[in-house]
Structure 1
Amino acid sequence: MAKSSNTLLIILAFFAIYVIWGSTYLLNKIAVTELPAYMLAGIRFTTAGLLIFGICKVSGISIKITLKQFRNSFIAGFLFLTFGNGVFVWGLKYVDSSFAALEVAAMPLIVLILMRVVDGKKIKPMSIVGVILGVIGIYLLVSQKQIVQQDESLLGMIIIFFCVLGWSTGSLFVSKATLPQSYLVNTAYQMVTAGITLGITSLVLGENWSWPSTWSGPVQLSMGLLIILGSIVAFSAFNYLLKTVSPEKVATSSYVNPVIALLLGWYVLDENITSQSILAAGVLLTGVFFINTKKKLVMFSHFRGKLKNTSEDIK
């Protein structure tokens, strides 16, 4: 029974990071059109973290942690939220939300390469095919004339790439680091520390802060959904999965996120989807599929079988 409950929890957690996070590209894009990026992210994560601490208090969950756990939570919060999300929202000022989501689809490729460099994990033949397809997909994505000819779009692409690198590094770090045992407590500390860091960054940069009462209706709704669904629900699910399944499996959220973001960006914000973007998305998603699938290439397996039989005949 416990195994069945755990399986259901994993499925629900994957739904959260697939679908809910896919919609946050749109929500962030709506909010950042009116609010400064670092102020937006700072308020979002600090509020979400404090709410989670409140949930822990009501539920009787202790929020006491060791100094080592606090340090690791701070590092994870910086990689995921301060850098990975806060700077990412800034990058959305220069590119469409759907385009940003497509660029994030390269994350499984980066995670795989980092696991090879850091952990020495052997890259399987299927994964090599995935990396090649990923490189082709990224080239198709960033080589579009209507994008390359805009200096600000190039800046946005570079910003988002480094954010993806931050998320990928954080995923490997969290999978091994000593963190609070409760996923809620872990999430709360990451969010509050990152939120404070983002708030300080906002003040240093001289961003103009404003009261929520002065925000437009769409921005208020977007911020509410980002705090409750995007932060409390989805990020808690993300931290849970990083300790339950392997990092490259968690990175498969990049399969679904771009599709959700593309559809919502087109339907709600009337963002343009070029045929080359669709092709790039297809190639990228095929690449990450090859990286994560456990099946072997039929042609490769057939060739290896033939080679084995030939060597036996020679003997």
Structure 2
Amino acid sequence: WMVGIEALFPRGEPIHRPTLLGLLVGFSGCALLVGPELRRAGFASNYWRGFLTMQVGAAGWALGAIYHRNRPRRAHPIVTGAFQQFGAGLAYAPFALLLKQTPIAWTARSFGGFIYLVIFGSILAFSAFVYALEHLPISVASLYAYINPVVAICLGWLFYREPFGWREAAAMAVIFLGVALVKVQAGKAR
């Protein structure tokens, strides 16, 4: 999403063929990862609705990230990230308060996951993304979308004994190939 939307902006980075090839290879690795579940669930399932909702969210995220990239920078990436996440929290708060959900069961495992997400998923990763967005080509900054599923699979396997078989290994190899193709093209473009 980011690379395509950026190319549409005035003075946006053009899409080079090797970059497009790398992005398509990386996307095919992600498709290999989740494709069987999407196919098995059927089109009318909530799984597909969730997938399509995530795509709309990703497109909105890309548009906001590119808007941020094209604005003058005045704040440190951690400050920028904190304000963006605070704003998102305020936007979601009314929905969270209106929906009747069961209370969170705070266990050691859920609290550990929460702390992990706050430190690594929010503070460190988001600040690194903002920094990359400001200092690297958009094709490189957008690679988080391919790397995050790999990290999630590895952590799920390591901590929660989630399955890791040939399909996951092949998907990771294809994703890393796509990342390498994009990175090589970004190095040539500099």
Distance 1:177 1:183 in 2: 13
Question: Which runs of 5 or more residues in structure 2 are unaligned?
Answer: none
Of residues 50, 56, 73, the one that matches 1:156 is 50
Q: Measure how far apart 1:274 and its partner are.
A: 4.5
The answer to whether residue 84 in structure 2 is matched with residue 193 in structure 1 is no
Distance 1:228 1:201 in 2: 25
Decide whether the 8 Å contact of 1:126 with 1:291 is kept in 2: yes
What is the Cα deviation at residue 192 of structure 1? 1.8
- Which residue does the alignment assign to 1:227? 118
Q: C-alpha displacement at 1:176, in angstroms?
A: 0.9
Match of 2:152 among 235, 258, 261: 261
The alignment status of 1:276 with 2:167, answered yes or no, reads yes
Distance 1:234 1:251 in 2: 13
If asked which structure has higher relative contact order (CA below 8 Å, sep 6+), I would say: 2
Asked if 1 retains the 8 angstrom alpha-carbon contact of 2:78 and 2:127, the reply is yes
1:185 and 1:263 map into 2 onto residues whose CA distance is 30
2:21 maps to a residue whose letter is V
CA-atom RMSD in angstroms:
2.8
SS for the counterpart of 1:121 is: coil
Tell me by how many angstroms 1:112 deviates. Answer: 1.9
Count of aligned residue pairs for this structure pair = 183
Matched, 1:125 2:49: no
Residue type at the aligned position of 2:49: L
Contact 1:171 1:247 (8 Å CA) reproduced: no
Q: Write out per-residue CA displacement over residues 61-96 of structure 1, whole angstroms, 9 at most, x where no aligned residue.
A: xxxxxxxxxxxxxxxxxxxxxxxxxxxxxxxxxxxx
Instruction: Give the counterpart letter for 2:20 in structure 1.
Output: I
User: What's the CA shift for 1:265?
Assistant: 0.9
Tell me the TM-score normalized by structure 2. 0.76
1:156-175 alignment, distance < 5 Å: 156-175=50-69
TM-score, normalisation: structure 1: 0.49
2:106 equivalent among 192, 207, 215 = 215
Match of 2:127 in 1: 236
Shift of 1:147: 4.2
Q: How has the CA–CA distance of structure 1 residues 170 and 197 changed in structure 2, closer, same or farther, with 3 Å as cutoff?
A: same
How far 1:134 moved relative to its partner? 4.1
Contiguous gaps of at least 5 residues in structure 1? 1-109, 297-315
Corresponding residue of 2:5: 114
**Alpha-carbon offset, residue 195 of structure 1:** 1.1
Query: Any runs of at least 4 consecutive aligned residues in structure 1 with deviations exceeding 6 A, and if so which?
Result: none
1:202 aligned onto 2:96: yes
Larger radius of gyration: 1
